[in-house]
Amino acid sequence: MRHLWETPGGVHPPDNKAQSQTMSIGQVPLPKTLILPLNSAFDEVAKASVRIGDRVLKGQKIADIQGKLSVAVHASSSGFVTSIEPRTIAHPSGLSTPCIEITTDGEDRWIESKTYPHYQHIDPPKLCDIIAQAGIAGMGGAGFPSAVKLAIDGEKSVDTLIINATECEPYITADDMLIRERAAEIIKGIDVINCALSKPKAVLIGIENNKPDAIKALQEHCKGTQIEVVPVPTKYPSGGEKQLIYILTGKELPSEALPINIGMICLNIATVFAIKRAVIDGQPLISRITTITGQACDINRNYEVLIGTSVEHLLKLNGFNRERCSRLIVGGPMMGFTLSSTNVPVTKTSTCILAVSHQEMPDSSPPQPCIRCGLCAEVCPASLLPQQLYWYAKAADHERLQAHHLFDCIECGACSYVCPSKIPLVQHYRGSKGDILTARAEKTMASKARERFESRAVRLEKIDSQRETKRESRKLTSNNAEQQRVSGKPPLTTSAEDIIKAAQLRVQTKKISPEKQKAKLERTLIAAQIRLEEAQQRLADVLESGTVDQQTQHKATLEGAKQKVDKTQQRLAKIKLQ
């Protein structure tokens, strides 16, 4: 037995998993239309490569990666592209994003695709590219592009690959069922990833011990491999990336760092399965296992759902009753978000559609004052003090919020879950995080603007003083001439005159050496371009791995560098013209 570490806090909400596990994974009748969102979970939009009216085949790529965090999109069935326009999708923001609508033709005909059964002989970068082109993004909910995670640059190395099969949220059983039915394929997927990572030293599958069947299935297929199946105690949120890393290895991910910084990579088990399908079978990510559950549905079951199928279609299939339904949740009850309408498509990250009845989740009573009972602090897996965070969030005390490590809150909701006063703590934290980030971005922008303003002021002042000098010197020269004329004596050399002369000389040198000026500008330009490249590199790094505020900061730096290059180029062009 492997030694396991215990995380602080955690809660044990009723798991409600049994009801959706009475049947095997079901198939969904082909819907008439499929809506395929082009944006990734990180709001980068893929570029549509088809046009309205085009005929597409199942598995055909219909949108390309553009920008590091976008994800390729494939037609999940054959048919015609009938519209490309913004639609509302299953996303916490509830906003609409560009989507491709496909009207299916019922043939469900696959496109010819390339399979890689001998993936062992493919270079890691090539493997990553295959995975990227298959449109694979983290399927546990975050939706981070997997290829970006797997493409490790030279200096970093991975010694532990962690496969997250904890599925600690109540109600959701998609991973559990996937493992039970398709463990062999999952293990192959792990092997593909091993090749992409050039064989990490350890491969651990973390799975909560409330899934004995899945554990058995995995263990059977892992015999004779280096993969270790590690059952972990059932406690929400053991499936949080940081928590799972600690439970399995006893290491803490430093604040704001990524697993790769401590030599680890975490992947969701459904993602592993998708990678197997993509590489070995040549099937891009066009479907996922989604749990449809909750008492407002007569049938609670897992389905293999085509990405883009509308929630409406799925609910109908399961005898959904609108009257009974108190709210509609995508994801689990702890971290999931509510939908305002059923007319949204399933995305790559939709683990579960939870249609709960009024008895199951009655409307909550209004929050009462915080009595500082500390129950929230007891369950916080990050060892924060939620009650203090709440207090400072209400007071909008950004300094104290950060001193209390607001940004280490993983928004797991354990604190709100236990709060006897029913305070929506997480909502307050999200709001405060947003406020702080906006304030920071504004600050960076303001300081940039101030810099620009100040340098302009200095420039103007310089020009003014030069003019002044010229005027003065002209006046003096004429005065002197006058004097000379009158007295017939050469003028007295005053110190003021010296200064004027020196100034004039400077102006002259400037005037007479456009070459020098050009050379200088060219040097500046090169330096600026280097800085720009560096800034781009850094931004790419943080986009991949950094926190949101780092990203904002680097974006601002990049903007500054761009402006500098532009300006230098303009000035250079002017000089060349002269």
Partner 1 sequence: MNYKQISSPQIHKRQSTDRIMQLVLIATLPGALILSYQFGWGVLLNLFISTLTCIVTEALVLKLRHRPINIHLGDYSAVVTAVLLGLALPPLVPWWVVVTAAIFSILIAKQLYGGLGSNPFNPAMVGYVVVLISFPVEMTTWVTPISLLPQGVSHPGLWDSGMIVFAGSVPIDGITGATPLDLFKHSKGLMVEQIYNSNRLFDNASIAGVGWEWANVAFLIGGLALLKARIFTWHGPVGMLGSLTLMSMLFWDAGSSSSPGSPLMHLFSGASMLGAFFIITDPVSSATSNRGRLIYGALIGLLIYIIRAWGSYPDAVAFAVLLGNFAAPFIDNYTLPRTYGHSQRRRATAKETDKNV
Distances (CA, A) of 17 to 114, 167, 199, 210, 258: 38, 10, 35, 10, 31
Applying CB under 6 A, does 386 fall inside the site for ligand SF4?
yes
DSSP assigned state of 209: T
The residue within the footprint of ligand SF4, chosen from 64, 108, 252, 411 (CB under 6 A), is: 411
Q: Per-residue x/- marks for ligand SF4, 439-468, CB under 6 A?
A: ------------------------------
Output the CA torsion 526→527→532→536 (10° steps). 100
For the bound state, the minimum distance from the C-beta of residue 334 to ligand SF4, rounded and expressed in Å, comes to 9
Which is nearer to ligand SF4, 290 or 421 (by Cβ)? 421
Window of 264-272, 337-345, 386-394, 570-578 that interacts with ligand SF4 by CB under 6 A? 386-394
Residues constituting the chain: 578
DSSP letters spanning 413-477: -HHHHH-TT---HHHHHHHHHHHHHHHHHHHHHHHHHHHHHHHHHHHHHHHHHHHHHHHHHHHHH
Minimum CB–partner distance for residue 9 and ligand SF4 (Å): 7
Q: Do the beta carbons of residue 318 and residue 292 sit within 8 Å? A: yes
Measured from the CB atom, the residue of 235 and 327 that comes closer to partner 1 is 327
Instruction: Give the one entry of ligand SF4, partner 1, none that residue 17 binds, where binding means its C-beta sits below a cut-off of 5 to 8 angstroms depending on kind.
Output: none
Give least dist CB 436 to partner 1, A.
Answer: 9
Instruction: Kindly give the interhelix angle for 548-577 and 425-487, rounded to the nearest 10 degrees.
Output: 30
390 binds ligand SF4 (CB under 6 A): yes
The reply on whether position 414 binds ligand SF4 by CB under 6 A is yes
User: Collapsing DSSP states into helix, strand and coil, what is residue 170?
Assistant: coil
In which region does residue 59 sit, left (phi positive, over 0), alpha (psi from -120 to 50) or beta (all else)?
left
Three-state DSSP at 323 gives coil
3-state class (DSSP) for residue 158: coil
399 makes contact, choosing from partner 1, ligand SF4, none, with CB < 5 to 8 Å by partner type, with partner 1
Q: Which of 160, 243, 387, 432 binds ligand SF4 (CB under 6 A)?
A: 387
Which of ligand SF4, partner 1, none is residue 378 near (CB under 5 to 8 Å by kind)?
Answer: partner 1
How many residues belong to the site for ligand SF4 (CB under 6 A)? 29
Tell me which of 150, 292, 328, 409 binds ligand SF4, using CB under 6 A: 409
C-alpha triplet 319, 325, 331: angle, nearest 5°: 90
Per CB under 6 A, the list member of 8, 212, 374, 434 interacting with ligand SF4 is: 374
Q: In what order do the strands lie in the sheet with 55-56?
A: 33-37, 96-104, 79-88, 55-56
Name the residue nearer to ligand SF4 (CB basis): 119 or 417. Answer: 417
333 binds, among ligand SF4, partner 1, none (CB under 5 to 8 A by kind): partner 1
Using rule CB under 6 A, residue 415 touches ligand SF4 = yes
CB of 242 to ligand SF4, least distance (A): 9
Q: With respect to partner 1, which residue has the nearer C-beta, 280 or 335?
A: 335
For the CB of residue 410, give the shortest distance to ligand SF4 in the complex, in Å: 5
220: number of CA atoms within 13 Å, CB side?
A: 13
Minimum Å gap between C-beta 230 and partner 1 is 20
Which residue lies nearer to ligand SF4 by CB, 38 or 425? 425
* Secondary structure (3-state) at 302: strand
Nearest to 288 by CA among 135, 150, 441: 135
Report how far residue 521's alpha carbon sits from residue 320's, in angstroms, rounded to the nearest whole number: 69
Please state, as a whole number, how many other Cβ atoms lie within 10 Å of the Cβ of residue 85.
10
Q: Which does 386 bind (CB under 5 to 8 A by kind): ligand SF4, partner 1, none?
A: ligand SF4
Q: Which is nearer to partner 1, 73 or 418 (CB)?
A: 418
Residue number with CB closer to partner 1 (90 or 274): 90
Q: Nearer to partner 1 by C-beta: 214 or 412?
A: 412
What is the distance between the alpha carbons of residues 269 and 402, in angstroms, rounded to a whole number?
Answer: 34
Q: Could you tell me the smallest distance in angstroms from the CB atom of residue 519 to partner 1? A: 41
Going from the C-alpha of 89 to that of each of 36, 206, 363, the distances in angstroms are 9, 31, 25
Q: Which does 246 bind (CB under 5 to 8 A by kind): ligand SF4, partner 1, none?
A: partner 1
Kindly write out the interface string for residues 177-196 of this chain, putting x where it contacts ligand SF4 by CB under 6 A and - elsewhere.
--------------------
Q: Would you say 292 and 18 are in contact if contact means Cβ atoms under 8 Å apart?
A: no
Based on CB atoms, which residue is closest to ligand SF4, 147 or 389? Answer: 389
Residue 40 interacting with ligand SF4 (CB under 6 A): no
Select 368 or 570, whichever has its Cβ closest to partner 1: 368
φ/ψ (deg, to 5) at 373? -70, -20
CA–CA dist 503, 510 (Å, integer): 11
Q: Which is nearer to partner 1, 440 or 562 (CB)?
A: 440
For 67-109, give the secondary structure using H, E and C. CCCCCCEECCCCEEEEEEEEEECCCCCCCEEEEEEEEECCCCC
Residue closer to ligand SF4 (CB basis): 354 or 375 = 375
* Cβ neighbours of residue 429 closer than 8 Å, sequence gap 6 or more: 389, 393, 406, 409, 411
- Footprint on this chain of ligand SF4 (rule: CB under 6 A): 370-376, 379-382, 384, 386-387, 390, 409-415, 418-421, 423, 425-426
